[in-house]
Amino acid sequence: MLVCLPFIPESPVWYAFKGRHGEADRSLRRINHGVPNYEPASDLAIIQRQIEMEREIAVDSTWASLFTDPIERRKLLYSCGAMFAQQINGIQFWYTYGVIFAQSIGAGQPFTINTIIDVIQIITVAIAVLVGNKIRRRENLLVCTCGMFVSMLAVGGLGTTHRGGPFSKGVGIAIVVFAYINIVCFNFSIGTLSYTIASEMAVGRNRNKITACAIGVFFFTVWLMVFVSPYLYYTANLGPMLGFVYASTTLFTLTYVWFCVGETAGRSNTDIDRLFMEKVPVRRWRTHVFALDTENTDKGMEKNLSIQEVENV
């Protein structure tokens, strides 16, 4: 990061926000240097409109509204829920204690197993990035979360074969294989999509506050799972039967996906905000058609549209 940092252009939005318009002009030219005959005037105008709209929106942004306004409260729940659902299924156990776990069940070379986990993550995330927009998000999450649930049940079930003692080589290998399946399902679905979902749900005047809350929930849940896991594994003497615990917590993820995740492909931030304001159930987000009513294009919609235009610059 330190090597690449000098080559990263500063944000033209930040320059404009600070009133440094000349530097914003140069930054836009640098970013769009591959565009023939590029002139930043129009983009600068859009950025300035965004800054003005954000300043007006900030006046109506309050922490209290996150809880008192039912629409803002729903956004908060969906955004924070994405980060909670990502970690509550126990994925951190494999990442943090994978080597110790492999040693405890006597499954081959722990370092090799942990290296394979890292390679699986990289490959799965790469595939998820490439095909993520080609697969319906809701279906992907439902199928993969069910896969995580079943794999954790399998790990727990195999853990009952010899509680408190060494496992046979076959059982140890089977546990590791189901752990790999769990990791693949996680990284192909909620592991990568939760960040996008949390960002998309944090629309409107409280965007920054909702995003901050979602990040806080993420780190708290990571800490909770990392802190609790060794006590469950060793102190409670569950061993691999810990899979039963995480299979049950995976149901939180499944519940979140069913009730809180909708299809947003092709939707702008303005569209998502309207879905919240019109209280459209998430299962209807993909097919919902907005009424052609000019009264709905109020000032708040125009502000979000301006922000969306800047995001597309």
Q: What is the pTM (predicted TM-score) of this model? A: 0.79
Contact call for residues 208 and 143 (beta carbons, < 8 A): no
**pLDDT attached to residue 297:** 46
Amino acid present at 254: L
Contact call for residues 89 and 252 (beta carbons, < 8 A): yes
**Residue ranges per structural domain of the chain:** 9-60, 65-260
Contacts with 92 (C-beta within 8 Å, 6 or more apart), sequence order:
222, 225, 226, 229
Contacts 24+ apart (CB under 8 A), 262-271: 262/138, 262/286, 263/136, 263/137, 263/138, 264/137, 264/200, 265/133, 265/136, 265/137, 268/304, 268/305, 268/308, 269/200, 269/203, 269/304, 269/307, 269/308, 269/311, 270/301, 270/304, 270/305, 270/308
- Given a cut of 80, is residue 244 above it in pLDDT? yes
pLDDT band for position 172 (cuts 50, 70, 90): confident
pLDDT band for position 292 (cuts 50, 70, 90): low
**pLDDT attached to residue 108:** 67
Query: Locate tokens 């610059």: which residue?
Result: 313
pLDDT band for position 32 (cuts 50, 70, 90): confident
Say which CATH topology domain 65-260 has: Growth Hormone; Chain: A; (1.20.1250)
DSSP notation for 148-173:
HHHHHHHHHHHHGGGTTSPPPHHHHH
